[in-house]
């Protein structure tokens, strides 16, 4: 993993924790409180004037969440961060803070399903329109841009077929047109892809994935400059109230301490599994940005510092029974949505539609997505081997 000389251990284990060292606790406290009291009426009056800076109520600020915000911002080279109760809430808040009736959004095709739903269905109710474009082409963004375009929404790579966008070029184009850019960076994490350095205005994460890392919490992150974060805080963040609990914030602080070693382990195991699966006679096609068969392999090498965990294959069969039998036969891969935890997962595209009509509109019917957790690759390969034998 290329971490560009950043002191990750400092950010994840020391930054912001000075106070807890004074108190001689090595682990920070969980401030499980909903509100904060004041000595005088005038003191609480001052807090009302500027809730962004004040400690008034946990829907706004909470010290445990504040420690987490500091670490997430440092990890992304952002000035500030907000932590929300889910990745979907983070995307919705960031988008809603930047549009009004009559505005237009250009979004990459095939983004995360709830991002698509937000733009294509929900926002239409408020007269906000959108165009979904082929993200592999910068020109497609330019062509779709109209006078009313306020936002570009990116996700690079996406998490089933792993198409990339040229982040630097699209951010540059947006700046020229006065358009705000939002990217979903959940696949890479801020360690794996420095979107803000590449020129993006707002970076979003589903922290339910690698940041939580243990499949035991749901959370989302918004990263940006101070002005933008304060603007979102005072509107969507306080209004929707989709905040993380202090307890879950503490769990994420603990998980982040091992993020770099988890990412390293996951990348190593992913490489080993891909080495096995890639040339298997039952596999027709591999989808993985760091494999040289990926059509945007050189762009991936250029803008991503890390790749791992998630990849997809097309099986060499269109027989639904065989696809299901293969997945059902896997013992070390659980059949489940999500990813980023300790457990390895499998998710076939055929599960997204009825058996009678299993060719999904977006995805090839024989596509199977894998997530490699913290397992030793040797046991995963053995498991794949026995499952492939079942369909031979
Ligand atoms: C999971 C996911 C989300 C949504 O995050 P939640 O925490 O589940 O709300 C958004 N984007 C991507 C790429 C995801 O994988």
- pLDDT tens for 102-120 read 999 999 999 999 999 999 9
Q: Using an 8 Å Cβ cutoff, are 164 and 141 in contact?
A: no
Instruction: Report whether residue 159 contacts ligand 1, using a CB cutoff of 6 Å.
Output: yes
Average pLDDT over residues 124-136: 97
Least confident of 20-29, 40-49, 149-158, 340-349: 20-29
Count Cα neighbours of 359 within 13 Å in the Cβ-side half-sphere. Answer: 3
Q: Using an 8 Å Cβ cutoff, are 163 and 185 in contact?
A: no
Q: Using an 8 Å Cβ cutoff, are 118 and 171 in contact?
A: no
Q: What is the pLDDT of residue 234?
A: 97
| Ligand 1 pocket: which of 114, 211, 252 to mutate (most atoms within 8 A of CB) | 114
Q: Which residues pair with 286 in a beta bridge?
A: 313
pLDDT higher than 70, residue 36: yes
Which atom belonging to ligand 1 lies closest to the Cα atom of 91? 10
**One-character DSSP codes across 105-173:** EEEESS--HHHHHIIIIIGGGGT-EEEEE-TT-HHHHHHH--TTEEEEEEESS-SSS-----HHHHHHH
Average pLDDT over residues 295-319: 97
Token code pair at residue 57: 């109520």
Instruction: Report whether residue 157 contacts ligand 1, using a CB cutoff of 6 Å.
Output: no
pLDDT higher than 70, residue 22: no
Q: What is the pLDDT of residue 1?
A: 65
Q: Decide: residue 29, CB within 10 A, 0-12 exposed, 13-18 middle, 19+ buried.
A: middle
Task: State the DSSP code for 225.
Answer: -
Query: 255 alpha carbon to ligand 1 midpoint, in Å?
Result: 18
Query: 216 alpha carbon to ligand 1 midpoint, in Å?
Result: 14
pLDDT higher than 70, residue 20: no
pLDDT higher than 90, residue 300: yes
Nearest CA owner, ligand 1 atom 12? 112
To the nearest whole number, what is the mean pLDDT of the chain? Answer: 96
State the DSSP H helix or E strand holding residue 80, giving kind and residue range, or none if neither.
strand 80-84
Q: What is the pLDDT of residue 357?
A: 81
Q: What is the pLDDT of residue 25?
A: 82
Q: How far is CA 205 from CA 94, 102, 224, 341, 368, in A?
A: 11, 27, 12, 15, 24
Q: What is the pLDDT of residue 360?
A: 61
Helix and strand totals (H; E) in the chain: 16, 12
Quote the CA–CA distance of 335 and 344 in Å, as a whole number.
9
Q: What is the pLDDT of residue 23?
A: 62
Instruction: Report whether residue 269 contacts ligand 1, using a CB cutoff of 6 Å.
Output: no
Mapped onto helix, strand or coil, the DSSP state of residue 320 is helix
**pTM for this model (two decimals):** 0.97
pLDDT band at 5 (very low <50, low <70, confident <90, very high): confident
Least confident of 120-134, 193-207, 226-240, 353-367: 353-367
Q: Which residues pair with 246 in a beta bridge?
A: none
Quote the CA–CA distance of 266 and 272 in Å, as a whole number.
10
Instruction: Report whether residue 358 contacts ligand 1, using a CB cutoff of 6 Å.
Output: no
Token code pair at residue 305: 């510092």
State the DSSP H helix or E strand holding residue 22, giving kind and residue range, or none if neither.
helix 18-22
Could you tell me which of 315, 384, 307 has the C-alpha nearest to residue 344? 384
pLDDT tens digits for 46-61? 999 999 999 999 999 9
Which atom belonging to ligand 1 lies closest to the Cα atom of 158? 13
pLDDT higher than 80, residue 378: yes
Q: What is the pLDDT of residue 354?
A: 87
């Amino acid at each position: 993993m290329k971490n560009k000389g950043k002191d990750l251990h400092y950010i994840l284990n020391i930054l912001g924790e000075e106070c807890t060292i004074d108190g001689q606790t090595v682990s920070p406290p969980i401030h499980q409180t909903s509100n904060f009291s004041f000595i005088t009426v005038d003191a609480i009056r001052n807090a009302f004037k500027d809730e962004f800076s004040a400690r008034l109520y946990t829907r706004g600020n909470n010290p445990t969440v504040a420690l987490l915000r500091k670490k997430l911002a440092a990890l992304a080279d952002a000035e500030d961060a907000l932590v929300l109760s889910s990745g979907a809430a983070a995307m919705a808040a960031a988008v809603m803070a930047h549009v009004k009736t009559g505005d237009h959004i250009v979004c990459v095709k095939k983004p995360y399903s709830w991002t698509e739903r937000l733009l294509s269905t929900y926002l239409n109710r408020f007269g906000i329109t959108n165009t979904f474009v082929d993200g592999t082409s910068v020109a497609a963004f330019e062509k779709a841009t109209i006078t009313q375009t306020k936002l570009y929404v990116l996700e690079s790579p996406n998490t089933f077929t792993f198409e990339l966008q040229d982040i630097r070029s699209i951010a540059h184009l947006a700046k020229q047109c006065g358009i705000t850019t939002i990217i979903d960076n959940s696949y890479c994490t801020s360690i794996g892809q420095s979107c803000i350095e590449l020129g993006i205005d707002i970076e979003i994460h589903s922290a339910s994935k690698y940041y939580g890392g243990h499949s035991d919490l749901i959370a989302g992150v918004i990263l940006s400059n101070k002005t933008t974060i304060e603007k979102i805080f005072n509107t969507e963040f306080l209004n929707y109230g989709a905040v993380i609990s202090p307890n879950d914030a503490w769990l994420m602080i603990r998980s982040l301490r091992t993020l770099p070693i988890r990412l390293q382990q996951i990348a190593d195991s992913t490489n080993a599994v891909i080495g096995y699966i890639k040339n298997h006679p039952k596999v027709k096609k591999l989808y993985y940005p760091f494999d040289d068969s990926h059509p945007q392999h050189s762009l991936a090498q250029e803008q991503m510092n890390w790749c791992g965990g998630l990849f997809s294959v097309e099986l060499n069969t269109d027989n639904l029974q065989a696809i299901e039998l293969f997945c059902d036969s896997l013992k070390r891969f659980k059949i489940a949505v999500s990813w980023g935890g300790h457990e390895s997962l499998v998710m076939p595209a055929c599960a997204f539609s009825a058996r009678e009509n299993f060719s999904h509109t977006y995805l090839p019917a024989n596509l199977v997505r894998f997530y490699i957790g913290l397992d030793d690759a040797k046991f995963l390969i053995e498991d794949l081997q026995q499952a492939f034998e079942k369909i031979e």
